[in-house]
Structure 1
Amino acid sequence: MTTSTAIRPTDLTVDAASLIADIERYLAEQAPRTAHPLVTKTTAELVAEALATPAVAVDEQHAPALEVPRRLWRIIPDWALALTPARRLHGAGRQITVTQHLELTALVIQQYGWHRGGLRSRSGRRCILGAQEVLYRLGYGDEDTAVAAGRAMQNVLTRRGVNDAYHAWNDRPERTQGEALQLIREAIAACTR
């Protein structure tokens, strides 16, 4: 996954649906071509078709209406991400690899902004652990995937001679967003060797 080095403006609004769309786009790009000779479409094309037309119609009268202004998605509690309509359609229970989890952790930090001193800021920025929580709450991967990704980042820090846990390292006053993203990139590189 290529990451942009440009810093997004602090007033950028990102809602859960657009984040999920970015995650789904990333996962579709990662999907290998199907091995069955009778199927001529790539897995990514099949996923895109499936996402374009939901197989299950949602009963609008009985489904809880959850209309939240886009700006509020950045500041509502992370547990509420599990209630998003987009998550129910796309993300629930989606298994991802450790490498994908790390790539998507970087994506969340780039989209929401980076934070230190807690899982999230009042404006919605996330630390590394907070970005991992967003993915978990949206249903991408499970606890084992998140723990393995954390272990990969911890291994990078250990090789550097750092004894802090990766989430404590993230919260140090001298830390920057660039350093946090670099840690994630090094963990990705270590996972793909």
Structure 2
Amino acid sequence: MTAQTLTITAVPAPDFDAEAAPLVREIEQYLTARVRTTAHPLVTKTTAELVAEALGTAPAAPVLTAPARALRILPDWVLNFPLLRQLHGGGRQISVAEHLELTALVIERYGWHRGALRSASGRRCILGAQAVLFRLGYGDETTALAAGHRIQTVLAARGITEPYHRWNDATGRTRTEVIALVRTAAHNARQEAHT
């Protein structure tokens, strides 16, 4: 067996701004659609979603582009760059209900994980999805904490006293249960905001 020589070459740093763009674009589209097409505060789907659901033609989850796939595997600290926050969202204020809806969206699009904030492939637990939104500048710490309290309130109403991050990690927990919990918390937050 011959010895192999290891050559280390400098690799240019990835363009983190371009990597985060697909997620930010999807969040912006989601927020814009919510403002324009939701007919009533208690309706949680856009008109297009309701029509597609009624016709049985609900669109499939979008195919991730190469930059979106790369975003899934970037470490969370990458999203914490101040320049990235300014360019994407830049401290955009969102409601607690919107934060929760976007948390569910991140889990739906990038996958759900238990046992850590994120998996190596970019799937996220509830807290991990919330962290992505915060680091991209959607809402602030107060919004994220209030959203966490909303999730905890839904669990308490079900007689569950453990923190939601532990509930997320429980053996046997499913992605469907997690998304349903977050969406219920979003619905409750939206209802209370309109009373």
TM-score relative to the length of structure 2: 0.69
- State the alpha-carbon separation in 2 of the partners of residues 86 and 137 from structure 1: 9
Match of 1:28 among 32, 38, 50: 32
Cα separation, 1, equivalents of 2:124 and 2:96:
19
Structure 2: segments with no counterpart, 5+ residues: 1-18, 38-65
Q: Secondary structure at the match of 2:88?
A: helix
Q: 1:171 aligns with which of 155, 169, 172?
A: 169
Q: Note the alpha carbon deviations across 1:79-114, whole angstroms, 9 max, x for none.
A: 212349764323111110000000000110011100
Cα distance 1:26–1:71, how it changes in 2: closer, same or farther (>3 A)? Answer: closer
The answer to whether 1:149 aligns with 2:147 is yes
8 Å CA contact retained: 1:95, 1:140: yes
Q: Which of these residues, 83, 108, 117, is aligned with residue 119 of structure 1?
A: 117
Q: Does the 8 Å CA contact 1:92/1:138 hold for their aligned counterparts? A: yes
Q: Which has the higher helix share?
A: 2
Deviation per CA, 1:121-153: give whole Å up to 9, x if none.
111100000000000010100000000000000
RMSD: 2.1
Contact 1:114 1:126 in 2 (8 A): yes
8 Å Cα contact 1:127-1:170 kept in structure 2: yes
Q: Secondary structure at the match of 1:158?
A: helix
- Structure 1 CA distance, aligned partners of 2:124 and 2:165? 11
Instruction: State the distance in 1 between where 2:161 and 2:117 align.
Output: 20
Q: Give the CA deviation at 1:22.
A: 0.7
Of 127, 130, 135, which residue of structure 2 is paired with 1:129? Answer: 127
Q: Percent identical across equivalent pairs?
A: 57
CA contact (8 A) 1:17 1:86 kept: no
For 2:82 and 2:75, the matched residues in 1 are separated by 12
Question: C-alpha distance in 2, partners of 1:141/1:125?
Answer: 21
> Residues 107, 84 of structure 1: CA spacing in aligned structure 2 closer, same or farther, 3 A cutoff?
farther
Q: Secondary structure of the residue that 2:94 maps to in structure 1?
A: coil
How many residues in Structure 1 have an aligned counterpart in Structure 2? 145
Larger Rg, first or second structure (1 or 2): 2
What runs of 5+ residues in structure 1 fail to find an aligned partner? 1-14, 34-67
In 1, the alpha carbon distance for the partners of 2:81 and 2:109 equals 20
Distance 2:126 2:33 in 1: 23
Q: CA contact under 8 A between 1:153 and 1:183: conserved in structure 2?
A: yes
